[in-house]
Amino acid sequence: MTILILSRADVRRLLPMRQAIEAMKRAFAQLSTGQANVPLRVPLQVNRHNGVTLFMPAYLAADDQMAIKIVSVFNDNPAQGLPLIHALVVVVDATTGAPAAVMDGTYLTALRTGAASGAATDLLARPDAHTTAIFGAGAQARTQLEAVCAVRSIREAWVYDVAPKQAATYADEMSRSLSLPVRVAGTPAEAVRQADVICTATTSSTPVFDDADVRPGTHINAVGAYTPQMQEVPVETVLRARVVIDQREASLAEAGDLLIPLQRGLMTQAHIYAELGELAAGRKPGRATLEEITLFKSVGVAVQDVAAASAVLEAARRLNLGTEVAL
């Protein structure tokens, strides 16, 4: 038996953002229409080293695709010059159960997370949105901006990070990469007050901007708060937004941005309007008015990894890329 090994460079080459966004729409549509088997991810806490490793399997029935991702988030890594996140994806042949491919999951995670926000932006943001504010300056923040630019005619972007040097590096890199003016905001307010689309990709435990600065008609992608204790979006913003989530079960187990106002009795689960897949499948409409604030809250679901990794594998076979290894 052989297995195909695909590097980070292979993954980047084989799955362009626009294609990834369409793959996310299909995956979320299957998730919300009962055509996916997705157990809640299994976390292994490694408190001794301030980290957690997550095991995330899923099967997409309509596309007959299966994979598992192993992803680690070790918070002390950046201080040691190491990536915060390491990940690996194993694609399994759904017809035989045989492992088909192993690929870098670190870039794939950033890509599919950005692509989910791209799908949400396409389905929820105002058609005339042209300015974006990005919170965070890491790998996730890069694919967030790339994805928004793939679905809207963005003319200007702002970035805010608690580390100004990282924000400056991000602005320079993304300006050149996207041929777009990306400016460093001195304060969160400077970024938010001008934004049609806001993306938060941080590890914050408190809101990263003030509700009062959010303009009517803004769309927000919140992808960084992935535990019940973490929070990026002010409660007031959540309460006045049309809230769309990636998966109800996962969000109600992990999304601090939603769990905190729920636990305080400030809202009920009925405030959650829809899963993204319901919009992608055409079962519910997106934005109701141009003045409405919309919020996509994502904690990450394994169907995203299955869809992205399967698209990468399909392209690799078509283009004869990767390294075959005998097991």
Annotated catalytic sites, by residue?
69
Give the pair of three-digit tokens for residue 105: 């999951």
Whether 197 contacts 218, CB under 8 Å: yes
The torsion angles phi and psi of 103, rounded to 5 degrees, stand at -145, 160
Residue 127: CA atoms inside 13 Å, Cβ hemisphere, count? 2
CA distance 71 to 68: 10
What lies within 8 Å, CB to CB, of 25 at 6+ separation is 119, 280
Locate tokens 């997705």: which residue? 38
- Report which of 55, 92, 27, 53 is spatially closest to residue 247, judged by C-alpha positions: 27
What lies within 8 Å, CB to CB, of 308 at 6+ separation is 15, 20, 23, 24, 108, 111, 112, 115
CA distance 312 to 9: 11
Give the pair of three-digit tokens for residue 313: 């594998």
The torsion angles phi and psi of 254, rounded to 5 degrees, stand at -130, -25
